[in-house]
Copies of this chain bind each other. A is one copy, B any other.
């Protein structure tokens, strides 16, 4: 599993190119070229382009979701949850994981795009992996804000996810407005949390 491993080189190159060009536009020839491995290695190690994409998503999303679930469990073991805590448990892990590996920002931006893209192989796998996390997030948010109607809660959490995933895309490439200082993942996170907390409590 070291970096010179063909499997790992393929995962790294695919992650970069899916982030840069999207799933459909990143060809296996471009991926194997960047990885410095043979074209046929994709089918040998992952079966297909789709199998490679699923492995790319799983490699980084599973640890992030494990951390989210651990934090949800910790909140559940306390008393009535605080909405700020619940939001932080969901939102912080992807941003904080950026500090552990310089490749993570590209992945985080890519997964956010996979979420936005239509009819996509990566998207369906993403939804499978997110299912249990969603359920916990929704349940704890409802416990934290018991006076909010179910539909109102649902939509507000969707707005949280929209703001978060757009912020995640900004990790990789800033939006088209210029003249602003570049910022790190913790900086964006520090600005995002008050915004979504206020929105949830509106």
Instruction: Point out residues on A near B: beta carbons under 8 Å.
Output: 19-22, 24-25, 109, 112-113, 116-120, 127, 130-131, 134, 138, 150-152, 154-156, 158-167, 169-170, 173, 175-177, 180-181, 183, 188, 191-192, 194-202
Consensus secondary structure, chain A interface:
helix
Structural contact, A152 and B24, CB atoms closer than 8 A: no
A169 to B, closest residue via Cβ: B116
Whole-angstrom CA separation of A7 from B162 in the bound complex: 34
Taking a contact as CB atoms closer than 8 A, the residue among B138, B162, B176 that contacts A167 in the complex is: B162
Other than the given A151-B183, A198-B202, 5 more pairs (CB < 8 A) read A21-B119, A118-B173, A151-B181, A155-B167, A165-B166
Taking a contact as CB atoms closer than 8 A, the residue among B150, B152, B159, B191 that contacts A155 in the complex is: B191
Most interface-central of A20, A130, A152, A196 (chain B CB within 10 A): A196
